[in-house]
Structure 1
Amino acid sequence: MSEDPTDAADGAGDPGTLVPEGSALTAVWRPTAAHVRAVVVALALLGIGVVMRRPDAVALGAPLAVVAVWSHLRRPEVAPVVHAWLRHGVLREGQTTAWTATVEPGPGVEEVALAVTETEFTRYTPASQCVAAGDVGDGGVGNVGDSGPAATRLDVFCQSTRWGLRRLGPATCAVTGAFGAHVWEPAPVHAPLVPTVPLPEAFSARTPAPDPDGLVGRSRSRHHGDGSELADVRGFRFGDRLRRIHWPVSVRTGELHVTTTYADEDSEILLLVDAMQDLGRSSGFDGEGSSLDNGVRAAAAVAEHYLRAGDRVGLQVLGAHQSPRLSPGLGTNQLRRLLDVLARVRVADGGVVDEKRLRGQLLHPVSAGTLVVFLTPAVSVSVLAHAAQLSRRGTSTIVVDTLPRAMATGDLTDEQLAGLVPEQSGSASARLAWRLRLLERSREVSRTRLAGVPIVPWVGPGTLDLVMRDIAKQRRSPRVVTR
């Protein structure tokens, strides 16, 4: 999802929403190092020429002296009015925002510039991350009659290429006088952290959730009630509605018969995103993704699909620090809250505290009729064991494998191995260790499948259709569960 920088920036809201207190930047005019060097060198050369009677030194120092004197006479004395802000407070992957600065120059100003500090997973336009405009003072381009020089606007466009909290900037604005001899440079402007919500991948599911158990929705329940799907035809009973009478059967049998339907209820889906590891390297929304990238984007896609279908969706990020459990909810507000939680996911450090946090998160109860979807690279034994335990208790459970396909082989490149083993480890031993880890992962996956938990790779649309159809068939047949 890429868009024109100008269109994205012009769609911003109130420019002042992200401006810190005291939006008009403050600074003082000061001589630049170049001006000081020119003055010192000119005085030195003129002094040498006069004392030592060296006309060549005078010839070299005279131009510098003229420039220094002219710059001093043309030095600005009035501070310009400068405002700088970041246009958007929330972004989606691939969306473009802009650092914008407006400068109302005073007399003697010749050039203004805006520069933005480079940050990870951000593309800049222009690529140099800075823009400048010249001839903005008296007699320059942009002057408006007697009202003085017009305000000059500078934009540096920033495109966020990966979900997460992005610190765009800080941005630095500078205003210079004649020959760059004097500069007005306020302190860098910092913007709040900008959440970049994940861009949901294409996803659709034709099969409804296997066990809807809510109030009102579009999923067919196992119970009879007011709905749109025919259940059976039975004899008329006291209290049946007349519009339910099935006239063809009633005429043929000579007795009144009515139709019954299945109730339409909403389902509850709980998404569990495994953030204990992040395997692979991320190159942004238009490149390769890591296991956590796949999990976060898949969770956003599944949540968006079922929320638009009228179901209730909840979220729990396993192992992540400061990621609250999101109770099941409905509507666009729930989707907004869910995307905001996903944008703030941070991979666990792998320490003892994270393991304790994971065990505590797995103790949260799951209500009856909930479809639990694990999005995990299937490396954590605790996560797979919890999925098997939920399945044995009778909870509909699906595990979506988010491990990148390139990581499922032992023949990894040195760049891929860099994120798996310490730097001092050799590539040969690292590949051997990863093969052993893949064998352990295969064993744990087989055990989980034997426990009745389907494990499917994430392939986008249709990922859950077959397994949900099989789960629905199993729910209609008797089976033994553990309480």
Structure 2
Amino acid sequence: MTTELQWRPSRLAILLALCAGSALIAALIAHDPQLVLFASPFLGALSAGAWAAQRTRWQPPASATIAAEPALSRTFENESTTLSCYGTLAGGAAIYTLKPVAAPGLDLGQLRKDGTFDASATRWGNYPVQVEVDATALGGLLSAKAAVTAARIHAYPLAPPYQTPIPRTRLPDRIGTHLTRRHGSGVEYADTRTYLAGDPLHTINWKVSARTGRLHITERFTDRAADVVAIIDTYPHAPGPASDSLDRAVRGAAQVTQAALQRGDRAGVIALGSRARWLGAELGRRQFYRILDAVLAAGDDHHLIRGTLAPVDAVPRGAIVIGFSPLLETQFSLAMIDLRRHGHAVVLVDVLGEVPPFSETLDDISERMWRVERRNQARDLRTIGIDVLEWRHAEQADMGLEHAFRLLARRPMRPRRRV
């Protein structure tokens, strides 16, 4: 990556000029020309640099190109990776040094002579690795500093999410391996009736047919899989280590989809934000890391979506929608309301926690008003049929979602309003 260099007098040039100026001022005040001799070495050093630049027609480098290899590194938490950086100056000659700059949550080692250094992340997230160039010229009289993002590190958590059941709320007729009321293809016995034209032959009950003298077939209850869609709020957040709310959202979505897929249900994931992404169904730990890639804006194993609403193709008819959001972005709440208006069963999990993200800048009255607004927002969402859960178990983050779903199951059932 190329950056422009802004040249200015160095600290050495400023000190030389300050010493020379002090000697000249002292000579004027004391009316003693001999004191000018003390300023001559400093003036000579400054003049020599300017004379050398004019004689050789030297021009300072206009830009610096800094790169690091590999440009993108994927590691686990607390795992060390080695990067190498190098740089070149364009448009002139100068002496320069490179220094990697650590981002919050990222530990960087000392730069070795061969240009390599070690990096490790203490928490999963998207980390920019900045390299600072410090250039000097004219014997140290001019200096320039610039910093560029030369590489990125995507850190992933080591522990996979625990298994979490689907919340027991008012859901459609299709709910995983549970039986439906309709008769169709399945394994559980439902009824026996007389044969009709068009019935498949493999459903004929030969024992009943032989006993009654007429063809009878066996009907079974339909055993259909549920469509589960987990939606993650990925609206812009600061680069660096993942926040607690984002960590809960990713783990919660992975828990729900993993539990659904292991039960034979169909599950998908939508990362809804400034650039929405749609992930297909996948089983196990692979799905967990695909979700992380979508949140970190890495990889290409997803479909980009335009707009701020969930796409119709990604949410099948009658699907169960489970959203994970800190409820700080209005667009995400509007997307959930739109899905509810289309007839989906929507469960919204509040992953923000008990402490506001900006509690340090709020006084007590403002914080209370903010909490009242959030309660009103949750009440409005419940009014139109969206169940809002609070995930506040930071100590046992993987068990908190299951606890929240259990609380949802204890709530009294009320009829849905038609929106």
User: What's the TM-score bracket when you normalise by the shorter of the two chains?
Assistant: 0.5 to 0.7
Q: CA separation in 2, counterparts of 1:457 and 1:213? A: 26
Q: 2:346 aligns with which of 397, 402, 405?
A: 397
Q: Secondary structure at the match of 2:291?
A: helix
Q: Name which of 212, 225, 231 aligns with 1:265.
A: 225
| Corresponding residue of 1:90 | 74
- Is the Cα contact below 8 Å between 1:87 and 1:97 reproduced in 2? no
CA RMSD for the aligned pairs? 5.1
Report the alpha carbon displacement of residue 394 of structure 1 after superposing the two structures with TM: 2.0
Structure 1 match to 2:382: 449
Find the aligned partners of 1:270 and 1:454 in 2 and give their Cα distance. 14
Residues 401 and 254 (structure 1 numbering): CA distance in 2 closer, same or farther, change over 3 Å? Answer: farther
Going from structure 1 to structure 2, the CA distance change for 1:243 and 1:393 (only over 3 Å counts) comes to closer
1:327-346 correspondence to structure 2 within 5 Å: 328-330=280-282, 337-344=290-297
Q: Post-superposition shift, 1:161?
A: 1.1
Name the SS for the 1:294 alignment partner. Answer: helix
Residues 171-320 of structure 1 mapped to structure 2, 5 A cutoff: 192-197=151-156, 201-205=161-165, 210-211=171-172, 223-228=182-187, 230=188, 232-238=190-196, 239-242=199-202, 245=205, 256=216, 258-273=218-233, 275=235, 289-307=243-261, 309=264, 311-318=266-273, 320=274
SS of residue in 2 equivalent to 1:158: strand
Q: Deviations over 1:71-99 (max 9, x none)?
A: xxxxxxxxxxxxx955973234x251311
Distance 1:275 1:88, change over 3 A: closer
**Equivalent position of 2:128 in the other structure:** 167
User: Conserved in 1, the CA contact under 8 Å of 2:104 and 2:241?
Assistant: no
Corresponding position: 1:417 with 2:359: yes
Q: Which residue of 1 aligns with 2:401?
A: 460
- Structure 2 equivalent of residue 120 of structure 1: 104
User: 2 CA distance for matches of 1:211 and 1:260?
Assistant: 19
CA contact (8 A) 1:211 1:222 kept: no
Q: Aligned residue for 2:15? A: none
Structure showing the higher strand proportion among its residues:
2
Deviations, residues 98-153 of structure 1 (Å, cap 9, x unaligned): 1167xxxxxxxxxxxx98542221245xxxx22879xxxxxxxxxxxxxxxxxx99
For residues 116 and 305 of structure 1, what CA distance do their matches in structure 2 show? 42
Per the alignment, do residues 283 and 294 of structure 1 end up closer, same or farther by CA in structure 2, a change over 3 Å counting? farther
CA distance in 2, matches of 1:89, 1:195: 6
Look up the SS of the partner of 1:338 in the other structure. helix
User: How much has 1:262 moved relative to structure 2?
Assistant: 1.3
Gaps of 5+ in 2: 2-67, 85-97, 134-146, 299-305, 392-399
How many angstroms apart in 1 are the aligned matches of 2:246 and 2:112?
39
Q: Equivalent of 2:276, from 324, 341, 347?
A: 324
Distance 1:325 1:222, change over 3 A: farther
Q: Which residue of 2 aligns with 1:130?
A: 110
The secondary structure found in structure 2 opposite 1:361 is coil
* 1:378 corresponds to 2:327: yes
Distance 1:388 1:310, change over 3 A: closer
Aligned to 2:43: none
Do the aligned partners of 1:316 and 1:324 also contact (CA within 8 Å) in 2?
A: yes
Q: Distance in 2 between matches of 1:161 and 1:316?
A: 21
Q: TM-score scaled to structure 1, two decimals?
A: 0.49
Deviation at 1:201, TM superposition (A): 3.9
Query: For structure 1, which runs of at least 5 residues remain unmatched after alignment?
Result: 1-19, 21-83, 102-113, 134-151, 173-187, 346-358, 408-414, 422-426
Q: Deviations over 1:140-190 (max 9, x none)?
A: xxxxxxxxxxxx9987351351322x2246599xxxxxxxxxxxxxxx998
SS in 1 for 2:352: coil
In structure 2, the CA distance between the partners of 1:381 and 1:193, relative to structure 1 (3 Å rule), is closer
Deviation digits for residues 433-463 of structure 1 (CA, Å, limit 9, x no counterpart) = 1101111211221222222221112323354
Task: Read off the aligned partner of 1:301 and give its amino acid letter.
Answer: Q
- For residues 123 and 148 of structure 2, what CA distance do their matches in structure 1 show? 22
Q: Does 1:440 align with 2:373?
A: yes
Distance 1:444-1:310 versus aligned 2 partners, 3 A rule: closer
1 CA distance for matches of 2:189 and 2:118?
Answer: 62
CA contact (8 A) 1:398 1:454 kept: yes
Q: 1:385 to 1:283 in 2, by over 3 A?
A: closer
Q: 1:305 to 1:130 in 2, by over 3 A?
A: farther
Shift of 1:237: 2.1
Q: What amino acid maps onto 1:225 in structure 2?
A: G
Deviation, 1:378, is 3.1
TM-score normalised over the length of structure 2: 0.55
In 2, distance between residues paired with 1:268 and 1:468? 18
Deviation of 1:338 (Å): 3.3
Out of 348, 362, 377, the residue aligned to residue 309 of structure 2 is 362
Q: CA deviation at 1:341?
A: 1.4
Aligned 8 A contact 1:269 1:328 in 2: no
Work out whether residues 172 and 318 of structure 2, in 8 Å CA contact, stay in contact via their aligned partners in 1. yes
Q: Distance in 1 between matches of 2:73 and 2:376?
A: 45
CA distance in 2, matches of 1:190, 1:316: 26
Question: In the alignment, residue 418 of structure 2 is paired with which amino acid?
Answer: V
